[in-house]
Structure 1
């Protein structure tokens, strides 16, 4: 789903506070995009938004200057986990150092999946 559909699907998302966890995550399978991670307080979802940069990583900096931005339909959302803030912060401890690394989104996915499994266990 795109970012507009994500917010429309649950009205709590529209008015909720969000905690950002960086906007420079990378995926080795998608070299011309970066990802941002955010946690939604009211739904306890941590999600990622794919931000395409067709011109490569240099285009990311042009995007920050609002030059040639991606269309809303291209901003794809994936919910990575549902967990309380403490669990998310624990799972992503040290994220600022990891985010700039190659394929850093894999690290976040793995950590959040493990955290989610621990919190579901009886």
Structure 2
């Protein structure tokens, strides 16, 4: 789903406090995109948003200047886990050092896998 659908699907997300967990995550299958991770207080979801950079990773800096912004439909969302903030922070401990590594999103997904299983069991 895109970012608009994500917020539209669950109105509590729109007004909720969010905690950012970085915006430079990478996926080796998607070399021209970065991902940002955020945790939504109202729904306890940690999600990623794919932010494409058709001009390559240097285009990310142009994006910050609002030059050649991605279309809303290209901002794809994936809910990675549902858990309390403390559990997410523990699972992602040390994330700032890992985020800049190659294929760092794989590490985040792996760290959050146990939270998904625990959230489904409760």
| TM-score normalised to structure 2 length | 0.96
In structure 1, stretches of 5+ residues that fail to align are none
**Following the alignment from structure 1 to structure 2, what is the Cα–Cα distance between the partners of residues 116 and 74?**
25
In structure 2, stretches of 5+ residues that fail to align are none
Confirm or deny that 1:66 pairs with 2:61.
Answer: no
What's the counterpart of residue 75 of structure 1? 75
What's the counterpart of residue 38 of structure 1? 38
What's the counterpart of residue 28 of structure 1? 28
**Following the alignment from structure 2 to structure 1, what is the Cα–Cα distance between the partners of residues 44 and 121?**
18
How much has 1:119 moved relative to structure 2?
Answer: 5.4
RMSD, matched Cα: 1.2
Confirm or deny that 1:13 pairs with 2:13.
Answer: yes
**Following the alignment from structure 2 to structure 1, what is the Cα–Cα distance between the partners of residues 89 and 8?**
26
For each residue in 1:12-51, what CA deviation from the matched residue of structure 2 results, as whole angstroms up to 9, or x when unmatched?
Answer: 0000000000000000000000000000000000000000
**Following the alignment from structure 2 to structure 1, what is the Cα–Cα distance between the partners of residues 34 and 120?**
30
How much has 1:74 moved relative to structure 2?
Answer: 0.5
SS of residue matched to 2:58: helix
| TM-score normalised to structure 1 length | 0.96
Contact 2:81 2:119 in 1 (8 A): no
Corresponding residue pairs, total: 122
How much has 1:117 moved relative to structure 2?
Answer: 2.7
**Following the alignment from structure 2 to structure 1, what is the Cα–Cα distance between the partners of residues 55 and 91?**
32
SS of residue matched to 1:62: helix
